[in-house]
Each structure stands twice: as C-alpha cells, then as structure tokens.
Amino acid sequence: MRATRAEIDLGAIAHNVTVLAELAAPAQLCAVVKADGYGHGAIAVSEAALGAGASWLGVALVEEGAVLRKAGIDVPILLLSQPRAADLEAAVRYELRTTVYTREGIEGLASAAERLGVRAVTHLKVDTGMNRVGASPADVVGLVKEIARHPMLELEAVWTHCAVADEPGHPFTDEQLDRFEGVVAELEASGLRPRMLHAANSAATIDRPRARFDLVRTGIAVYGIAPSAALAGKLDLRPAMSLVSEVSMVKRVRAGEGVSYGLTHRFTRDTNVATVPIGYADGVPRRLGSVGGWVLIGGRRRPIVGVVTMDQLMVDCGDDHVVVGDEVVLIGEQGGERVTAEDWAGPLDTIAYEIVCGIGPRVQRHYRGLACPASGGR
C-alpha cells in the first residue's frame, strides 16, 4: 500500500460539532458534507457529526445526497442549490430537502413529486446580496404562494447565505440579515411564514448570533478550520486532517546544481535532498515550493524546493541525516512542530477550504477515533 495518506481524526470532527452545536443551541445544526466532506470522507464525517449533535446534513449535489442515503443515513439532508430539471426526480426519490428559487424549479419539483406519489419537502433560498443563486426578495411571496398551490409540495424553510460573515464587523452581513428579516415580515403579513428560517454558515454561527435562527449550516468549522484568520481562536476547533508520506530517496546535491523541472531552484551549498512520493496529482499545488512551502521531517521544518511534480516533491534537508522511510508530515504535527492547511493557503493566496478539498482520490483516507470505518478509500 502507498505510504502517502490522509489521516482523518473523527474524534476531532465530533469535538468540533459538539462545540458548534452548544454554541448555536437552541438552533439545530446542519453539518455540511459536500465535496466528499471537504475531502475528509462524507460518510465517515456524517456519522461522526450526527453522533456528536448534528441533526441535519448538507450537500451540493443530488449524487452526494444519494451516497449518504445508500449508506443508510436517514436524517434530513439539505440540497443547497436547486438541481437541474433532469435531477429533480432523483432528489425526491432520495428524500432530499430540495432548495428551489425559480418558478421552473418549483414546477419541476411538483411534477417529480406527483410522478412518484411522494410529498416533496422544499426550502426556498433568498438572494439577499451575494448574487450567486437565490430568489429576489421581491419575488419571495409569489414563489411561496406558488409552492402552496401544489398539494405535493411542502415548504419547510426559507433561507439565505452570508457573503462576508468571515469578516467580523462588516456591515454588509447586517444588511443581508435586514433584507432577510424584511422578507420574513412580508411572509408573516401574508400568513405564509414557514416553520424554519436559516442563514448562518460557519462564520456567522461563530460571530453573528443574530443569524442563527432555527438552523445553522456549518461547513469548514466542522473540519477544525476557522472560516478566516480573523475568526481563528474564537472557538476550540481541532483540525481533523493530517497529510502524511515518507522519504523515498535521499541524494547529496552539490552547490550550484538545480532541482526538479526547469531547475528553477539552485542550491547555494552542498545539501541532502529528500524526495517525497506525493505531488500535484494528489493535491499539493505545483508552485507550493516556490512560494515558501515546507514539510516536517524528524520534527523539523524543511523547505520544499523546486517545482512540485505530478507524483513527487523534493525537500532540502541540509546536512541532517535523513533516510528512506522517514515520516514526512505535510499537514499536521510532528515533534512539537505543526503545518496547517492555512500555512499552505496563505502563500498561495487562497483559503484553507481549497487546500483540504483539493487532496485527491489517490490519497487514501485512514480514519482514527470513534468507531472508525475501514481504512482507505474515499
């Protein structure tokens, strides 16, 4: 078996969910497990989250919801975007809480429910300013009336999504919540208020109590990563993913020589270079070495040098004694030192979400903590 692996601490997932659920109470908690649980493994994460206080799950695709249902998970699963027309019947069949925000989506969902003879539960999303997806606030009352017109549809909730909640104090979050509450007031005036309201993502759950309503949708925080540097340390969150490999070769390279494609890095002194069998096909960004990426070997920080290749990367170990088989930690802890997904994200001008989601399917997931599923696979 390949030594390169992602170790997923399900105990950390459970801890994070418990902390978030206690913070959000009495609101219910929806653990967002789209993108294969942000790269951590959707089924294992779902089971850990549900055991720790989550009562809902959130996915982006009908296929993602189907995977959970086939695994025997029977809690409410929220489909976070309106699916295309061809997928609405599958959404009903798998009993997903289907988000809608257009008349066409409502009509298609009603037709699918009628064909299957199943009452479909739906959530209406309102676009309060992010301008991605969702109904215009001016259209919400009419769309809710349209849902009510169909006997096979049940409106369970109205919701929205915050665009800048990861920036504490940003006034636009309050603007969005004002617009959302204005929509709710219009619905109440028409006798159409649904049973549930929700607006909070991880950031708003942590920093905006006003946004918690009846349900919070926590994604990145479930995995132990703060939504932004500004929110780091606000809660006791524990990173759940470690990325580990081993040294596959060690070479003594002379001063003046280069390394990897393009020989873009040249050594100023004689040095020991360790090769590690993980590369950009596994999710390590190709330019991580050129922007200051590093790994842990022997409990010490070691710089990645040269271009990360498809299957391998190189590390400058100086004059230290490093041998084939030594453990390499790319994300995680070793010998009191730590590398985080945020440590990758900062120099790459991206976010930790992209780092963990990008760890590819060639990297086996090994689970520990709680009642672990079988090791390996995604």
Cα separation, 225 vs 214, in Å, equals 24
Residue in the structure block whose two tokens are 């929220």: 78
Diameter of the chain measured on Cα atoms: 78
Q: What are phi and psi of 331, to 5 degrees?
A: -135, 125
**Structure tokens given for 22:** 């206690």
The reply to whether 34 belongs to the active site is: yes
Q: What are phi and psi of 142, to 5 degrees?
A: -65, -40
Helices 140-148, 171-189: crossing angle, 10 deg rounding: 40
**Structure tokens given for 286:** 């190709």
Residues 261-283: b if buried by 16+ CB within 10 A, e if exposed = eeeebebeeebbbbbbbbbbebb
Please state whether beta strands 28-32 and 56-59 pair in parallel, antiparallel, or not at all (unpaired). parallel
Q: What is the dihedral of CA 92, 94, 97, 100, to 10 degrees?
A: -40
Q: Which of 234, 251, 261, 367 is catalytic?
A: 261
Q: Which of 34, 94, 223, 367 is catalytic?
A: 34
Residue type, 279: G
The residues assigned a catalytic role are 34, 261
